[in-house]
Amino acid sequence: MDNIELKRFWEKVKEEYVGILPESVHPWIYSLEVSGYDKGVLTVVTGQAMARDWLRKYHSEQMNKTLKTITKNEAACIHIIYDENEARKMKKEVEKIHKKELELQQKEQAIENLSYMQSSSNLNLKYKFENFVVGENNKFAHSAALAVAKNPAQKYNPLFIYGKAGLGKTHLMQAIGHYTIFNNPKAKVKYTKTDDYINDFISNSRKSNDYVENMAKFNKKYTNIDIILIDDIQFIESKERTMERMQHTFDTLYNKGKQIVITSDRIPEEIPKLTDALKTRFEWGLMVELIPPEIETRIKILKNLAQNCGIEAEQAALKYIAENYDKNVRELEGAFTKVCAFAEMSEQKITLNLAQQILKCKPAEAVSFDSVAKITAEYLNVDVDDIKGTSRNQKVVKARQLIFYLCRELTNQSFESIGEYFNKKHTTAMYGHEQVKNKINASQELSNAVREIKQALKVIR
């Protein structure tokens, strides 16, 4: 029997003893530590002389009998030794092992909880505080997010993070979620994109069966939580009933003392047709802005990326990439990933030469509605003026939908502004976007068109 087997064996025997012996002697049973088992003789040590004497005198017969049954050995017997020092030492050892086992168990449980919570709360594992590079541009937003993560619903509720696309709003918001789950695996964190919230609400309110029950389910889903993370609130646009529902979600959570975190690409004041009620609520807490990072921070971000990929990169190469991508961290990362892929494929490190060769910077210019319309119309051979007009010709309608789709995907602008630019209602833009989105995976023709137009727009190569 090795040490572990011996301890297990003793646990089993002890359990039996506790079952058969009177309660008054249980403390003595618990004082026994196993020291060995050899040829049927089970040796245990106690630090209390009374325990040895009493058990020997009044219970040894019963204890031996039980041991014989367990071991199926007629010669089995228990030998109780009194040795204060030895007992103390052994007790400590056992406690140490127990503690280790418990820690291991807790760790395993925590990891299990963590991955469950992380997947059920919709969080991206990459978006943690540890991976967020702090610079002059984001230090205020970062410390506000950290304060919220450490003390939810105390100071800054709601926390409203705003800034242009690709500057780390989603990352920072989700970092709060990860932090919370890690430190309190039982906390219920929910991350939701505003689009998903809207679709969920619409589909629930349209279901033909019990409206009240559906709404109750919907409410529970968004309010039976500790922290809600609502991403890209600018997309709430002018959907009145959804805004009413959002207000209800907000108030319920707020009144229950739960934390609300919101992101947006602009301040509440500039979100078209946002109800005053929501506007004021969004401004109740703290509003923090993310602006593009300065060069040092951009280089630091690239350094981290290189480190995480385990790829060697020349400082000059990182500097070159950072200098040329200064408005959007997503694009900065994209440029790096492209260079990294080439470096990996050709099994070389990232050098300035390679970066220059791959990126040939001039980075892609910002995509405008106008350029999307022109290139798409040309590609599909329709007149660009018809796109803004009222033509119901199938070819024009298809081109229009594709343009709405591309505008939304490539510029991240609201349907409201896309619709407005093309003289259409925002619902028309939204519908068009949805049509293409639903068909794109099934239609080779459509996905080719999207790829080629993107290439022409120079957003991909």
**Residues in touch with Mg ion (CB under 5 A):** 169-170
Residue 97 CA to residue 334 CA, distance in Å, equals 49
CB of residue 163 to ligand ADP, shortest distance in Å? 6
* Cα angle, residue 281 at apex, residues 280 and 284 outer, rounded to 5°: 85
Residue 258 CA to residue 275 CA, distance in Å, equals 22
Which of ligand ADP, Mg ion, none lies near 306, with the C-beta cut-off 5 to 8 A by kind?
none
76 or 173: CB nearest Mg ion: 173
Which of Mg ion, ligand ADP, none lies near 449, with the C-beta cut-off 5 to 8 A by kind?
none
Which of ligand ADP, Mg ion, none lies near 138, with the C-beta cut-off 5 to 8 A by kind?
ligand ADP
145 or 399: CB nearest Mg ion: 145
Which of Mg ion, ligand ADP, none lies near 171, with the C-beta cut-off 5 to 8 A by kind?
ligand ADP
215 or 364: CB nearest ligand ADP: 364
Residue 244 CA to residue 259 CA, distance in Å, equals 19
Residue 424's nearest CA partner among 395, 439, 404 is 404
* Cα angle, residue 25 at apex, residues 24 and 27 outer, rounded to 5°: 100
Residue 180 CA to residue 399 CA, distance in Å, equals 45
- Contact between 340 and 319 under an 8 Å Cβ cutoff? The reply is no
166 or 268: CB nearest ligand ADP: 166
148 or 329: CB nearest Mg ion: 329
DSSP 3-state of 356: helix
CB of residue 201 to Mg ion, shortest distance in Å? 20
Measured from each CB, the residue nearest to ligand ADP is 168
Amino acid identity of 71?
A: T
CB of residue 136 to Mg ion, shortest distance in Å? 21
Radius of gyration of the chain (CA): 33
CB of residue 132 to ligand ADP, shortest distance in Å? 5
Residue 176 CA to residue 124 CA, distance in Å, equals 12
CB of residue 169 to Mg ion, shortest distance in Å? 5
- At 280, list the tokens: 């004021």
CB of residue 124 to ligand ADP, shortest distance in Å? 8
121 or 170: CB nearest ligand ADP: 170
76 or 148: CB nearest Mg ion: 148
Work out the number of other CB atoms within 10 angstroms of the CB of residue 99.
10
- Contact between 17 and 29 under an 8 Å Cβ cutoff? The reply is yes
Which of Mg ion, ligand ADP, none lies near 446, with the C-beta cut-off 5 to 8 A by kind?
none
Contacting residues for 284 by C-beta, under 8 A, at least 6 apart: 157, 158
Which of ligand ADP, Mg ion, none lies near 329, with the C-beta cut-off 5 to 8 A by kind?
ligand ADP
Which of ligand ADP, Mg ion, none lies near 399, with the C-beta cut-off 5 to 8 A by kind?
none
Which of Mg ion, ligand ADP, none lies near 133, with the C-beta cut-off 5 to 8 A by kind?
ligand ADP
CB of residue 397 to ligand ADP, shortest distance in Å? 31
CB of residue 327 to ligand ADP, shortest distance in Å? 12
Residue 404's nearest CA partner among 453, 442, 459, 455 is 453
Give Dmax (Cα) for the chain.
Answer: 106
Which of Mg ion, ligand ADP, none lies near 458, with the C-beta cut-off 5 to 8 A by kind?
none
CB of residue 381 to Mg ion, shortest distance in Å? 35
193 or 248: CB nearest Mg ion: 193
204 or 414: CB nearest Mg ion: 414
CB of residue 411 to ligand ADP, shortest distance in Å? 12
The residues that touch ligand ADP, with contacts defined as CB under 6 A, are 127, 131-133, 138, 163, 165-171, 301, 329-330, 333
44 or 288: CB nearest ligand ADP: 288
User: 261: burial class by Cβ within 10 Å (0-12, 13-18, 19+)?
Assistant: buried
* Cα angle, residue 226 at apex, residues 172 and 104 outer, rounded to 5°: 85
The number of helix segments (H) and strand segments (E) in the chain equals: 21, 8
Q: Name the residue with tokens 């005053």.
A: 276
Which of Mg ion, ligand ADP, none lies near 233, with the C-beta cut-off 5 to 8 A by kind?
none
Residue 325's nearest CA partner among 441, 451, 167 is 167
